[in-house]
A and B are shown apart, each in its own frame.
Chain A
Amino acid sequence: MKEATILVVDDSPVVVEAVREALLTDSFNVHTASDGIEALDMVKNNHIDLILLDIDMPRMNGYQLCKILKRDPNFKNIPIVMLTAKSSDADRIWGLKAGSDEYLTKPFNYAKVKEVIKRFI
């Protein structure tokens, strides 16, 4: 599990910083992006082992990014964990339809996030 690289995508600097700090403490490498377009660029130019992905973000939302990556043979195997405030059943269904591998809601418990990451890496 050491040195796996996680991409954290969220438009909230507070969330990004909190998750980044926790992941670094657990010896993950961390990249961050504040919207889907920035994240797409990051994925194309870096090795990423897993993505923690918010949904409502400016420019490109999380569902759209997820769909693009899961349709691309180069990136479709990167596990995507939605980490979002969107908590209704319909939101979850949409997350699965977009191709996400797991769906976690905010406010989140880092232990749970870590448990999910471990499952994929």
Chain B
Amino acid sequence: MIQLTDKQLMMFRDLIFDSSGLWFGDSKLSILGNRIKTRIREYGAESPDYYFKAISSDDDRGELSHLINLVTTNETYFYRSESQMDSFRNIILPNLAEKKVAEGNRDLRIWSAGCSTGEEPYTIAMCMLETIRFHSIWNFYIYATDISTEVLTKAMEGKYSKRSIEKLPEEYLTKYFTYRDGTYQINNTIKKLVEFDYQNLIDAYYEDGFDVIFCRNVLIYFKDKSKREILNRFYDSMNDGGYLFLGATEMIRGLVDGFKLIALKDCVVFQKEPR
């Protein structure tokens, strides 16, 4: 049985922060500790100190990268946070489409930042196809990024368990999935709308021109200084009037200027306004 002292846990936390910018606050320490212990067992290290030494030396930086993947991977599912997705589908998308049509613009660009195994960007794609009329004359671009190549590879595969699709409206399931050998395979109609990319949000290189950014329950892994930088980069990468969806309980007051809070049905969204 692997035991991890508080001091050892702090050493791992600091190492992860120094190498990735991801911060595990006190409320997340027990999850972090459990995942590290699991990984130490799998790795076959004789002790936490041995494992720490291995991943903090230049000899096994690949293992550090693997550990970071493990501690940041969270289970997600299709149509997560129903009220947000309903608002996106029924309010935000129709508004954006109307505005774009008036401008003679048929480009719609959405970013799912911290997309994990793909449930969020694929849900976004389905909402777009279901909501926007004459979608074949539109250019939809859904950019989906994550810090883990493992989850990105799974996302590109597009195979899901029953548990992942339970919250999805029945008609979406029928239309956009093929059931085979106990798994639900996302159809190519949806797959081809999503471009997956590897990115740590603390990197300075961001694509731009986004109408909506989803970054739900991701900023909780960063310290305030990094959050400010990320939110300012989001601001720069969004079109005027663009929308930012964060996790249901995440707030940005005091961290960034230029976003107006808009209350929608049972949820809020942040809209970019001129600074």
A-to-B contact residues, CB < 8 Å: 12, 14, 36-37, 56, 58-61, 63-64, 67, 84-91, 93-94, 98, 105-107
Q: Which of B160-168, B186-194, B197-205, B267-275 contacts A (4 or more CB under 8 A)?
A: B197-205
Pairwise interchain contact A107-B59, C-beta atoms closer than 8 A:
yes
B49 within 8 A of A: no
Pairwise interchain contact B205-A91, C-beta atoms closer than 8 A:
no
A–B pairs, 13, beta carbons within 8 Å: A37-B205, A56-B200, A58-B204, A60-B204, A61-B198, A61-B200, A85-B58, A85-B60, A85-B61, A87-B62, A88-B62, A88-B65, A90-B150
B131 within 8 A of A: no
Interface size class of B (residues with CB under 8 A): 20 to 34
Which listed residue, B64, B65, B149, B197, touches A64 by the CB 8 Å rule?
B197
B99 within 8 A of A: no
Pairwise interchain contact A91-B199, C-beta atoms closer than 8 A:
no
Q: Bound state CA distance, A91 and B62, in angstroms?
A: 10
Q: Bound state CA distance, A53 and B69, in angstroms?
A: 21
With A86-B62, A88-B62, A107-B58 as contacts: A60 and B149 at CB distance below 8 Å: no
Residues on B with C-beta less than 8 A from A86 are: 61-62, 65, 149
B36 within 8 A of A: no
With A37-B204, A94-B153 as contacts: A63 and B198 at CB distance below 8 Å: yes
Pairwise interchain contact B204-A94, C-beta atoms closer than 8 A:
no
With A56-B65, A63-B197, A85-B62 as contacts: A90 and B204 at CB distance below 8 Å: no
Residue of A nearest to B196 (CB): A97
Pairwise interchain contact B62-A105, C-beta atoms closer than 8 A:
yes
Residue of B nearest to A40 (CB): B205
Q: Which of B58, B62, B64, B66 has the largest count of A CB atoms less than 10 A from its CB?
A: B62
Min distance, Cβ A121 to any Cβ of chain B, angstroms: 27
The 8 closest A-B pairs by CB, nearest first: A85-B61, A87-B62, A60-B205, A90-B149, A90-B153, A59-B204, A94-B149, A90-B150
Residues on A with C-beta less than 8 A from B153 are: 89-90, 93-94
Which listed residue, A14, A87, A94, touches B198 by the CB 8 Å rule?
A94
Pairwise interchain contact B199-A61, C-beta atoms closer than 8 A:
yes
B152 within 8 A of A: yes
**Per-residue CB proximity of B38-63 to A under 8 Å, as 1/0?**
00000000000000000000111110
Residue of B nearest to A89 (CB): B153
Q: Bound state CA distance, A85 and B149, in angstroms?
A: 13
Residues on A with C-beta less than 8 A from B148 are: 90
Residues on A with C-beta less than 8 A from B69 are: 88
Q: Which of A58, A87, A90 has the largest count of B CB atoms less than 10 A from its CB?
A: A90
Min distance, Cβ A19 to any Cβ of chain B, angstroms: 13
Min distance, Cβ B14 to any Cβ of chain A, angstroms: 17
Residue of B nearest to A63 (CB): B198
With A59-B204, A60-B205, A93-B149 as contacts: A106 and B62 at CB distance below 8 Å: yes
**Per-residue CB proximity of B139-168 to A under 8 Å, as 1/0?**
000000000111011000000000000000
Q: Which of B152, B153, B202 has the largest count of A CB atoms less than 10 A from its CB?
A: B153
Residues on B with C-beta less than 8 A from A93 are: 149, 153
Q: Bound state CA distance, A90 and B149, in angstroms?
A: 5
Pairwise interchain contact B200-A91, C-beta atoms closer than 8 A:
no
Pairwise interchain contact A91-B204, C-beta atoms closer than 8 A:
no
Q: Bound state CA distance, A37 and B206, in angstroms?
A: 12
Residues on A with C-beta less than 8 A from B199 are: 61, 64
Pairwise interchain contact A85-B65, C-beta atoms closer than 8 A:
yes
Which listed residue, A63, A88, A94, touches B66 by the CB 8 Å rule?
A88
Pairwise interchain contact B62-A64, C-beta atoms closer than 8 A:
no
Pairwise interchain contact A90-B152, C-beta atoms closer than 8 A:
yes
